[in-house]
Structure 1
Amino acid sequence: MVNIDWNNLGFEYIKTPFRYISTWKDGIWDEGHLTEDNTLHISESSTALHYGQQCFEGLKAYRRKDGGINLFRPDENAKRIQRSAHRLLMPEIPVDKFINAVKDVVKANAEYVPSFESGGTLYLRPLLIGVGDTIGVKPAPEYIFTVFCMPVGPYFKGGLTPTNFYVSDYDRAAPHGTGAAKVGGNYASSLMPGEEAHAKKFSDCIYLDPATHTKVEEVGSANFFGITKDNTFVTPVSPSILPSITKYSLLYLAENHLGLKAEERDVFVDNLQEFAEAGACGTAAVISPIGGIQNGDDFHVFYSETEVGPVTKKLYEELTGIQFGEVKAPEGWIYTVEV
C-alpha cells in the first residue's frame, strides 16, 4: 500500500520504485531495462556536467474514471526530444523506444498513478545526457537515456486560479540559440529572474523576445496564450520559443472543438489590451490563468484577478477531459497503458 496523501500532492520529487535506463555506445542503443536504482553513475568528465550536453522532456500519465491509464501524445514528446538531441549533437532516441520506455515506467509504477477523483497525475521525466570520459568541448562518446516518474498535483498552487506575472528584463534565450530546444541551460538561466519575480510576489516572470524586447515569448517555464476580445485564440510565434505540445493541442482544440479562430503571431507587450483573457500553458502547468501582467510601471489586468475567464475555463475542461478520458480525443492523441 502506497502511503501518500493523494489530495494534497505538490510538484515535488517523490522516489518511486522503478525507472528505465538505456545506454548509447559505439553508435547503438542497448535494449534498456528497468532499475530500482535512482542514482546515475557517470564519469566526472561527462559533457552533461561541464558543457551542458543534455536535454529532457516532461509528460504525464492520467488515471481514467474506470481505473485505466492514459498517456497524452507521447509521440510528440518523442519527436521533440529528437529535435533537442539533434541541436546538441546527441544521438536521437527512436520514437518507439521512447514510447515503450515511458509505458514500461508507468506500468511498473502503476500504483503511484493518482486516482481520477484526486485530480493528480503521474509526471514522467525522460532525460538524455552526454557521459563518458572526455574533457574537450566536443560531443560525448556515450549517452544515457533514462525515464523516471512521480505523482504530482497542480504545478501552480491553487490550481485553476488567476495569478499575476512580471515582465523580466532578462532574456530566456539568445537569438538563434537553444530557445526552441528543451535543454537544461535554458532553465538554469531562468532561476534568477524567476526568483526576482517571486520576491516581488508574482507567480513567475514574462520573457520578451531577446532581439527587440517588444514581444511576449514565454511565461516562466510555460507558453503564453491570449483570447482576443473578438474570440481569437492567440499564441506567440518565435524561433526562440519551446514548441509546447500543450500549446499546439490548445490551438487545435480552440479552432476545432470550441469554434474559435486560432493563430500563432507576434504578441506585442504594449498591446496587451487586445486580450480579454490570458494564460500560461504547458505539461506541468496545464493551464494557469493570468490575472494581470506588471510591465514596468504598468499593471494590465485581463479578465479578472480572482475569476477564470469563460474561454480559458472551457479550454481547460476540454483539454483535461481528453487527457483523463472523459472527452473524445482527436485521433492518435491518447495512448493507453495496459497494466
Structure 2
Amino acid sequence: MNKDVKINWGNLGFNYIKTDYRYISVWKDGQWDEGRLTEDNMLNISEASTALHYGQQCFEGLKAYRRKDGKIQLFRVDRNAHRMNESTAKLLMPEVPVDKFIDACMQVVKANEHYVPPYGTGATLYLRPFIIGVGDNIGVKPAPEYIFSVFAVPVGPYFKDGLTPCNFMIADYDRAAPYGTGGQKVGGNYAASLHPHRIAVDRGFADCIYLDPSTHKKIEEVGAANFFGITKNNEFITPKSPSILPSITKYSLMDIARDYLKMPVYERDVYIDNIDEFKEAGACGTAAVITPIGGIEYKDKLHVFHSETEVGPVTKELYRILCGIQFGDIEGPEGWTYLV
C-alpha cells in the first residue's frame, strides 16, 4: 500500500480512492490480449472512441470481503461475469470469457489486498469492471477496439447511515425506455437518473423511485437499486420487467427469503396504487446492500411502511443473513463465494 495513504476504515464513504493496481486488457483484431496489472490509473484513448460519443460501454460492480479468519472472498462473481456479457451482447461489444473476468477480479484483489478493509468494520473492497469502445471511429457503428479493465476502491456503506430507513419520492422521469437498455448495466441509464436524483435530494429524499416507462403505474427501480417488499402475508415480492437491471443482490435475497426464511417469493408487477399491501419495503444492490424504505411520497402523500426510524424484522433478518454469507460467517449456497 502507498505509505502516504492513511485510511480510517470505520469512516469510509463511497468515494474514489486510488489503489495500487488495476487490470487492463485490449480487444483488437478479433481477440482479447492476455491482460496485465498496471499502476497507471489513466486511460489514453482516441478522441473518436465510441464510448465517448455513442455510449458504447458497460460496467459491473461487486465486492471483496475480509472474513473473520483474515481470508478474502468474492461474492457470486460469476453472476457479474454473465451479466456483463448480457450487456455487451446488447451493445454489440465482444464478450469477456467468464474465466477471464473472474481471473481479472482475483488479480486485482490480490494485488491490492492491503486495501481490503478489516473484518468487523462493515467496509469492503469495491470492484468496478468495465468495457469501453475505443479506437478511431466517427460513424455510428461498433468500435474497432475495446478496453476491459477492473479497478478497486475500499468503500463504506453507500448510504452513510447504514441500515437505517430512508424516504423516497416517485420520479416524474423515466430512467430507461421500454425495451431499451434498462435491463443492462450501461452508463446511459445512470446519466438519465442524475437530474431526477438531484430533484429528490433537493426535496429531502434519499432518492427517487422510477415507475415503468410504458404506463407509469408499476414500481420498477429505486434510484440505482432494485425494489423489494414484504407483504402483510409475509411474502417476498419484487418487480418483474424487461427494463429492470437484474440485481445479483436481489436474486440472492430471493433465494435467502425462500430457502432460509421459508417465505413465498414472487417476481411480479408491483402497482404503485397497491403499495399498502406491504408491511416492509427496501432497496437492494451491490453498493447499498439493503436500504430499508421508510416511506414513499406519491401524489403529495407519504406512505409509511414499517417505520420511518426502525428497520422491519424481516428486512433486518435478510440483511443479517446476506451479510453473514458475504463475510463468511454464515454458510451460503454452493458456489456463492470465491476464495481469493
Write the mapping of 1:31-50 to structure 2, written as runs, cut at 5 A: 31-50=34-53
2:155 counterpart residue number: 152
The 5 A counterparts of 1:86-125 are 86-125=89-128
User: Deviations along 1:251-297, whole A, 9 cap, x unmatched?
Assistant: 01100001111110000001110000000000001000000000121
Give the drift of 1:93: 0.2
Distance 1:56 1:295 in 2: 32
| Mapping of residues 4-43 of structure 1, within 5 Å | 4-43=7-46
Q: Match of 1:237, as an amino acid?
A: K
Alpha-carbon separation, structure 1, partners of 2:26 and 2:300 = 51
For 1:131, the equivalent position in structure 2 comes to 134
Partner of 2:247: 244
Match of 1:82 in 2: 85
The superposition leaves residues 50-75 of structure 1 with CA deviations (integer Å, 9 ceiling, x where unpaired) of 00000000000000011000100000
Corresponding residue SS for 1:289: strand
Q: How far apart, CA to CA, are the structure 2 residues paired with 1:239 and 1:28?
A: 30
- Return the alpha-carbon distance in structure 2 between the equivalents of residues 160 and 299 of structure 1: 20
Deviation at 1:157, TM superposition (A): 1.3
| TM-score under structure 1 length normalisation | 0.99
2:14 aligned partner, one-letter code = F
TM-score by length of 2: 0.99
| 1:171-210 map, 5 Å | 171-210=174-213
- 1:60 equivalent among 63, 66, 75: 63
Equivalent residue letter for 1:13:
Y
What is the rounded CA distance, in whole Å, between the counterparts of 2:329 and 2:286 in structure 1?
A: 18
Structure 1 counterpart SS, 2:100: helix
Q: Give the aligned length.
A: 337
Counterpart-to-counterpart distance in 2, 1:116 and 1:30: 36
In structure 1, the gaps of 5 or more residues are none
> CA offset at residue 96 of structure 1?
0.2
Q: Secondary structure at the residue paired with 1:43?
A: coil
Give the C-alpha shift of residue 298 in structure 1.
1.8
1:35-60 CA deviation, whole Å, 9 max, x = no partner?
00000110000000000000000000
CA distance in structure 2 between the aligned counterparts of 1:336 and 1:197, rounded to whole angstroms: 40
- Could you list the per-position Cα deviations for residues 153-193 of structure 1 after superposition, in whole angstroms to 9, with x for gaps in the alignment? 00011000000001001001000100000000000010000
Q: Which of 263, 271, 286 in structure 2 is aligned with 1:283?
A: 286
SS at match of 1:189: helix
Aligned amino acid, residue 313 of structure 1: K
Cα deviations by residue, 1:300-320 (Å, 9 ceiling, x for unpaired) = 000000000000000000000
2: distance between equivalents of 1:211 and 1:173? 10
Shift of residue 30 of structure 1?
Answer: 0.1
Residue 222 of structure 1 deviates from its aligned partner by 0.2
Structure 1: which amino acid aligns with 2:325? I
Q: Distance in 2 between matches of 1:85 and 1:202?
A: 33
C-alpha distance in 1, partners of 2:19/2:51? 24
Cα distance in 1 for partners of 2:44, 2:236 equals 46
Cross-structure match for 2:237? 234
d(CA) in 1 for partners of 2:62, 2:123: 13
Shift of 1:327: 0.3
Counterpart position of 1:51: 54
The amino acid of 1:68's aligned partner reads K
Mapped pair 1:214 → 2:183: no
